[in-house]
Structure 1
Amino acid sequence: MKNARTIRGLQAAASMLALAAAWQILSWIFPHFLFPPVQDVIVRTIDVLTTGSLLADVLLTAARIFGGLLGAFVFGAILALVIGRSQTIENFVSPVLTFFQGIPALSWVVFAIIWFHGTEFRVLFIMVITTLPAFTFQILDAFRSMSKDLFEMTMSFRPSRWKLFCYLIVPTILPGIFTAWKVNLGNAARVVVVAELVGATGGVGYELMRQQQLFDMAGAMAWTLQLVLFVLVVQQAINMLEAWTLRYRAVSERAM
């Protein structure tokens, strides 16, 4: 198991080094305003991380991502549990969620600018509405994967609703919740940039727009890497939490 993880880590590092090498070769062929050298991008990235005013923009974007995902998760979980208990409600709600899922993020940005005044509320609305359908459908699928035999056996003990929720429903949907967070984290990172490009006065998306106006490719890459690093760190944290929470699965796999 450890050897497999080491091999995967080495392969991932090799692929990223190959990508950096290809970028560096392009910087030798093309002008630096198109493909800045890797060392310039690294220096600019470190500058953002070590400059308080610039790091504040990164943290602002991170807060917007977490706020939007948390709101979408709470509403999505409630909707999924309600839909899972009523076919009639599903017939009404699912088409609406599917319709919302088909609306581009940029359209929601335009709607939010027209409907609302506050910048933070605009961004929060966009983040919630664009990730809500995915959270709902993913948690609903996890809820429906519950074993009928296990459900009937649990009901034979006449548990209270709270015990049924804690001891059967939550363990059943927990793997789906972790998957939903990992999938929606990447989606939220892309959406928040669009929202900040158009409707915000701070954050990574806003800074990317400034770099575009300055025609500063090294700066644009540095700010993009801030978002990529944030997603990688948070995804790794989710993976660690998932491995710890669902550690019983590793025990059962070894037993088999």
Structure 2
Amino acid sequence: MTDTLAGGSGPIPGAVLIGRVLRTAAPFALMAALWQVASLFFPPYLFPSLVDVFWRCLEILTHWSQLVDVLATVMRILAGLAGAFILGAALALVMARSRAADGFFGPILTFFQGIPALSWVVFAIIWFHGVEFRIFFIMVLTTLPAFTFQVLGALRGMSKDLVEMVMSFRPTRAKIFRVMILPAILPDIITAWKVNLGNASRVVVVAELVGATGGVGYQLLQQQQLFDMAGALAWTLQLVFFVLIVQHILTVIETVAFSYRATSERSL
């Protein structure tokens, strides 16, 4: 058994994968080691042992009364992102087709981008009574501009030659979208979801800290009042796990959807 591919041109795929995993894990392993060492010299409310944090994470995941708060936050993030994406994609289509719409909505979205998430939280608390609608409103308004501009940029970046070639076959609107538009904008859509996912997880925590009676943000507030750093880290890690899982799902979707690119590259 050799460590090279047929022809001796390079390392086997398994060795490459192991090397990538080790390089990715090394910084986190170092951070964990430094934290664990610090826990030996500082009190638990500053640097709790990672063992304590692990057991708190396990407690959250195995007790329904606590897991329901994680699920509530997850649903709020997904609902807000879905709403912002649908609205943003519709706006992008209108702006791409109409210069007047672009001139009208573009400055408004740019203005919205400059408003801090905390300001939207304050506005939502003043304007609305329902907690869920408040959080949905905050999530949509904070992620809408990024979705809109990302989809708009993808639409405008489509090759004019490609558009003319496809239109010469006089396809139906459904076929135009499936064959030409969707493949062209899907990479930017996935990128927008990846970027907004991290932003949304931070925004929802702020919204829950101020105006909710449940969720990860609310639980973080409880841990802060108790000076329970192990609990605060455990609840924070629930969101980190969620973001990593969804990021991985998006990467898998991207890999499957554009597998033809790798095939094309190998055939060159």
Aligned to 1:237: 249
Tell me the percent identity: 63
2:114 is the counterpart of 1:99: no
Query: Corresponding residue for 1:147?
Result: 159
When residues 247 and 2 of structure 1 are mapped into structure 2, their CA distance, relative to the original with a 3 A threshold, is farther
Structure 2 residue identity aligned to 1:249 = R
- Corresponding position: 1:30 with 2:42: yes
210-219 or 80-89, which moves further after superposition? 80-89
**CA-CA distance at 1:23 after TM superposition:** 0.6
Gaps of 5+ in 2: 1-12
- Give 1:177-188 correspondences, 5 Å limit: 177-188=189-200
Q: CA offsets per residue over residues 142-174 of structure 1, 9 Å max, x none? A: 111111111111111122222212211111111
Give the distance between the partners of 2:164 and 2:173, measured in 1 at CA. 14
Distance 2:19 2:99 in 1: 47
In structure 1, C-alpha distance between the alignment counterparts of 2:140 and 2:107, rounded to whole Å: 18
Q: Which has the larger radius of gyration?
A: 2
Matched residue count? 256
Find the counterpart in structure 1 of residue 225 from structure 2. Answer: 213
Q: Report the equivalent of 2:75.
A: 63
Point out the structure with the larger helix share.
1
**Whole-angstrom CA distance in 2 between matches of 1:6 and 1:241:** 23
Aligned to 2:206: 194
Deviations 1:109-147 (A, max 9, x none): 000000001000000111111000000011111111111
Asked if residue 132 in structure 1 is aligned to residue 144 in structure 2, the reply is: yes
CA distance in 2, matches of 1:204, 1:2: 38
Deviation at 1:2, TM superposition (A): 5.1
* Root mean square deviation of aligned Cα: 1.1
Secondary structure at 1:157's aligned position in 2? coil
1:223-234 to structure 2, matched below 5 A, reads 223-234=235-246
Q: 1:148 & 1:2 partners in 2: Cα distance?
A: 42
Cα shift readout 1:85-128 (whole Å, capped 9, x = no counterpart): 11211111011001101100000000000000100000011111
Question: What is the aligned counterpart of 1:80 among 83, 86, 92?
Answer: 92
TM-score (norm 2): 0.93
Given residue 182 of structure 1, which amino acid in structure 2 is its aligned partner?
K
TM-aligned CA distance change 1:144 to 1:117, over 3 Å: same
Q: Distance in 2 between matches of 1:63 and 1:8?
A: 32
Q: Which AA in structure 2 matches 1:194? A: V
**Offset of residue 3 of structure 1:** 4.1
Q: Say whether residues 1:46 and 2:58 are aligned partners.
A: yes
| 1:156 matched to 2:168 | yes
Q: Return the alpha-carbon distance in structure 2 between the equivalents of residues 106 and 61 of structure 1.
A: 17
Q: Is there any run of 5+ residues in structure 1 with no aligned partner, and where? A: none
